[in-house]
Amino acid sequence: LQKIYLDNAASTPLSPEVLEVMLPYFTQIYGNPSSIHAHGRQARAAIEKARKQVANLLHCSTSEVFFTSGGTEADNTAISQAVHSLGVQHIITSKLEHHAVLHTIQYLEKTANITVSYVTTDSRGNVDYDHLQSLMAWPKAGLVSLMHANNEIGTMLNIDLVAELCMQNAYLFHSDTVQSMGHYLFDLQQIKVDFLAASAHKFHGPKGVGFMYINTENKIKPYLHGGAQERNMRGGTENISGIVGLAKALELAYSSFEKDKAYILGLKKHLANALLEQIPDVEFNGNSANLDDSSLYTVLNVSFPPSEKADMLLFNLDIAGVSVSGGSACASGSDIGSHVLTALGAAPERPSVRFSFSKFNTMPEMEYVVQTIRQLVLA
Ligand SMILES: Cc1ncc(COP(=O)(O)O)c(C=O)c1O
């Protein structure tokens, strides 16, 4: 039985080169980076080198990069502290955000007396930029929090345009870039964002480590209180092996970006076309079948016609050795299901499967998946 992993938007396998650079930090370079002795200084130097690597890739200052435990912490910190430290009273977001963002904003709405506006999105998850601009007319200190690439449907934000609109309207801009970091070449000299959130395990780095970018103009207070780590911004002994691995993974992602993107797009195109040709009434959620910048090239979200067999598709793909995720829009009265597909207005009776690719997938795997789906849905 083949084992095929097509759930790379959930997590990616660690690159062997990343593991290699991480290993010494478990057994040889184990000092606490806050210690002033030689062991500690060696660990500190590794963290600062990693910070420089990340800052160089993103074209920002090392003082703007803060390591965290992952995307969730980075999102929570940026949004909460925009409210608590920078006086934000109005947050504009969308119903398609990851729960790390949505639940943080909903919590602040209940506890911090802020107003939340949801920008209109169309049936493919595209933001209505005119509506966004009109929401920013509110004369209160505000934050726009919109994800760069949607983790379920791959729809991408025009991040340059939103950054520009935020600047014109004196709104802060936070973008959850957890899905796009490592799959997009950010140049922070060109895009004016205030906060970004990233997570290493989405780009062949280790789990439990990420970073936030905080533009130097924004002086926020820590979200996690404790020691003076991360320049007083985030208490807690640093995950050194993770941080070293994150920086290596991001370097690898940037250095082979064009090659990997072209290769993965080839896989996605092949799978999308083969499914269209071979399975009747297949549709694609979001912009995910697009091969341009309106969709993240690593995600293809497929909607299948309703049938008992299609309902069992995820389960049967798993039995057949194919790991994917999926779901459907919430049926009325239930909150089980995808809040993203529900917000798009997707039909709850149509099951959806999210295929998400990495450079480690192959064309024969795509063929196997198509043939397996044929058997599962048509037989
Ligand atoms: C868009 C998005 N934001 C945030 C997160 C949370 O990241 P982490 O798992 O590193 O906390 C994820 C993870 O799935 C994600 O896809």
pLDDT digits (tens, 9 = 90+) for 25-81: 999 999 999 999 999 999 999 999 999 999 999 999 999 999 999 999 999 999 999
For residue 60, indicate whether it is catalytic. no
Predicted confidence at residue 326, as pLDDT, reads: 86
Predicted confidence at residue 280, as pLDDT, reads: 94
Query: From its phi and psi, is residue 354 left (phi > 0), alpha (psi between -120 and 50) or beta?
Result: beta
Catalytic residue among 86, 330, 347, 374: 330
Tell whether the torsion through CA atoms of 59, 104, 207 and 154 is positive or negative. negative
Model-level pTM?
Answer: 0.97
Q: Which of 151, 199, 239 best tests ligand 1's pocket when mutated (most atoms within 8 Å of CB)?
A: 199
Q: From the CA of 71, how far away is ligand 1's center (Å)?
A: 5
Nearest to 221 by CA among 324, 122, 60, 86: 86
Residues with CB under 6 Å of ligand 1 are 70-72, 75, 98, 100, 147, 151, 176, 178-179, 199, 210
344 contacts: CB under 8 Å, gap ≥ 6 = 96, 121, 123, 124, 125, 153, 285, 286, 329
- Strands of the chain (E only): list them: 4-5, 65-68, 90-93, 115-118, 142-145, 172-176, 195-199, 210-214, 283-284, 299-303, 322-323, 325-327, 352-356
Predicted confidence at residue 58, as pLDDT, reads: 98
For the chain, which residues score pLDDT lower than 70?
Answer: 1, 331-335
Amino acid letter for position 376: L
